[in-house]
Chains A and B, each alone.
Chain A
Amino acid sequence: MSGATRQVYDDIRALEYRYARLLDDDQLEEWPNLFVERGVYKVIPRENLSRQPALPIMFCDSRAMMQDRVRSLREANVYNLHYSRHVVSNVEILSARDDTYEVAACYTVYQTDLEGQTRLFSVGQYRDVIANGDGDLKFREKIAVCDTFNIPNLLAIPL
């Protein structure tokens, strides 16, 4: 566990689970608050990793930009009506230094339409940098690398 304590591991896992639950409970307005003020969120198709910097399909580098994304989803965008379910697993601390943790995890997102049919929407890996500030763990960076880089229809709710 790269020097991190059991308690830190539990706290990181709790942060990941909370992240998933907020998105699935449609509490999108709360989603940016899991990041530090200048936090970075990216969704990168796996096939783009061979070029640096890798082209993202969603990219916010501030909490304000995440709020804009949420407001756009609420007020401007039209997208497929669905419920989403984020499943986070294989949470692993890769490094721990100065209260900053590099974390890898797997995500799986299912979408369920209004007729109750569920399909696998996206699977991939989170590459996170999590910082401990004010006794609170927050994402400094969260990169969702999509194995499913051929996006079914469209991507609206963050991965």
Chain B
Amino acid sequence: MLREAPVIPWPSRDGSRVPFEVFTRADVFAREQEAIFRGPVWNYVALEAEIPQPNDFKTTFVGDTPIIVSRAEDGSLHAFLNRCAHRGATVQRQASGNARQHKCVYHQWCYNSQGDLVGVPYRRAVAGMGGYSADFAPKDHGLTKLRVASRKGVIFATFHPDTVALEEYLDEPLLAAIDRLFSRPIKVLGHMRQRVRGNWKLYSENTRDPYHAALLHGFHATFGLYRTNQRRVGGSDRARAHSTGATYGDDWRQAAQSGNIGQDKFVANYSLADPSLLEGRPDFNDGVTVSITSIFPCLVIQQIMNTLATRHIRPKAADEFELYWTYFGYEDDDEQMIACRLKQANLIGPAGLISMEDSEAIELIQRAIVRDGHENSFLEFGGLHADLGKDRVGEATIRAFWRYYAGLMGLSPAGGEA
């Protein structure tokens, strides 16, 4: 069923060595579409709050495959290919909207909000010309459907018949991380997009990499928003595919104004000329100011102070992906809270004061690994035997990502088992 696995020497069973060619080769990218994105995984596709009403829809992607996510008349959620079963044209051209039917413009084949074929022009021959035979069954020509599951309004889809139940796939404490952020109804505030000339897995690594945070992102340390002496907790699923981490903060405004910035970067008496950027009030009573949850293969859910967002990694080619941010607050936000979230949006996204560096770091890698594909990146920070549960500053979480990836891709060291 799967195409022949690309020949990639996979140097380490522990995920501490990753050959550069997994970031550059088109055949690896093609294989990933089958083994990863259409494999036994749950892909994030949308938030229910984006399609609240019957017949609301949103077009998105699973891997690089275009799909439609839709809410049917009866309120149920559906996902199906955005590719006409007739000749393969894009059916729904809008990014989102409300439609009882999705009609292909080419020959006007028409599908309902569950992806079933409900209309075919000239199905019966007209004046003896055209038409389909008597045994043409519309139910055999619907849009290919994906299985859909939602956890607290976060919608996932899978192509694979054997994918385990969503709750089992996510596992504790990932479920707890989702339940915490989506404990009450959310309100989508808008989107941010950036197009990064790099491989999608470089972003997966980035969001499982606490080592870089205080070193690459100067704003954190400069304004006292992130310090290595802050208490951090984290967790993972049994399969170690996902990761979630939370940082407990002091009152961040106090930290920013006191000039107390820890050991990572020393800038004396630094503070904002206009501290209103950091004004807000805690969304939760647990003292967590930053939480980053990475769900294999393509979702990051973040809370950084009052900024709440999902980040959807949308691979486009071996050397390109789109990062699609859905920024939200809560339905019961008052005007002041919405204003504060809009202002704190400065912190994240493509122009984010604490996030703009990530895509640059990724492009710097992609630009430099054009040759020497058999050479490896080196992932031993924190020590190879670090306990994943405790190692919250090392590279254990990245190594776990690569072990899970290698398993799905059928990669193993020479002489080893697949």
Q: Which residues of A contact B (CB under 8 A)?
A: 43, 45, 47-48, 51, 53-62, 64-65, 67-69, 71-72, 75-80, 149-156
> Bound state CA distance, A80 and B197, in angstroms?
12
Contact of A62 among B193, B217, B274, B353 (CB under 8 A): B274
Contact of B353 among A45, A48, A77 (CB under 8 A): A77
Of the 9-residue stretches B28-36, B115-123, B355-363, which lies at the interface with chain A? B355-363
Give the total of B residues in contact with A, Cβ under 8 Å: 41
A55 touches B356 (CB 8 A): no
> Bound state CA distance, A156 and B273, in angstroms?
19
A56-B345, A149-B193, A152-B195 given as contacts; is B272 within 8 A of A76 (CB)? Answer: no
Contacts of A45 in B (CB 8 A): 190-193
> Beta-carbon contacts of B153-191 to A below 8 Å, as 1s and 0s?
000000000000000000000000000000000001111
> Bound state CA distance, A65 and B350, in angstroms?
18
A151 touches B351 (CB 8 A): yes
Count CB-based A-B contacts (< 8 Å). 120
8 extra interface residue pairs, beta carbon distance < 8 Å, beyond A47-B190, A155-B350: A43-B351, A53-B338, A61-B343, A77-B357, A150-B195, A154-B359, A154-B360, A156-B351
Indicate whether B11 reaches chain A with its CB closer than 8 angstroms: no
A76 touches B353 (CB 8 A): yes
Contacts of A48 in B (CB 8 A): 190-191
**Residue of A at shortest CB range from B344?**
A59
> Bound state CA distance, A71 and B267, in angstroms?
13
Q: List 23 interface pairs A-B (beta carbons < 8 Å), by A numbering.
A: A45-B193, A47-B95, A54-B190, A55-B190, A55-B342, A57-B351, A57-B352, A61-B276, A62-B274, A68-B273, A69-B353, A71-B273, A72-B218, A72-B222, A77-B219, A78-B357, A80-B360, A150-B193, A153-B363, A154-B350, A154-B351, A154-B356, A156-B356
Contacts of A76 in B (CB 8 A): 217-219, 222-223, 353
Contacts of A71 in B (CB 8 A): 273
B189 touches A75 (CB 8 A): no
**Residue of A at shortest CB range from B193?**
A150
Indicate whether B216 reaches chain A with its CB closer than 8 angstroms: yes
Contacts of A72 in B (CB 8 A): 218-219, 222, 353
**Residue of A at shortest CB range from B339?**
A53
Contacts of A60 in B (CB 8 A): 274, 346
> Bound state CA distance, A152 and B316, in angstroms?
14
Interface residues of B in 187-206 (CB under 8 A from A): 188-197
A150 touches B194 (CB 8 A): yes
A153 touches B197 (CB 8 A): yes
B273 touches A59 (CB 8 A): no
B194 touches A154 (CB 8 A): yes
B194 touches A153 (CB 8 A): yes
> Bound state CA distance, A104 and B67, in angstroms?
37
A59 touches B345 (CB 8 A): yes
Indicate whether B349 reaches chain A with its CB closer than 8 angstroms: yes
B327 touches A79 (CB 8 A): no
> Bound state CA distance, A77 and B195, in angstroms?
19
Contacts of B217 in A (CB 8 A): 76
A80 touches B363 (CB 8 A): yes
B274 touches A56 (CB 8 A): no
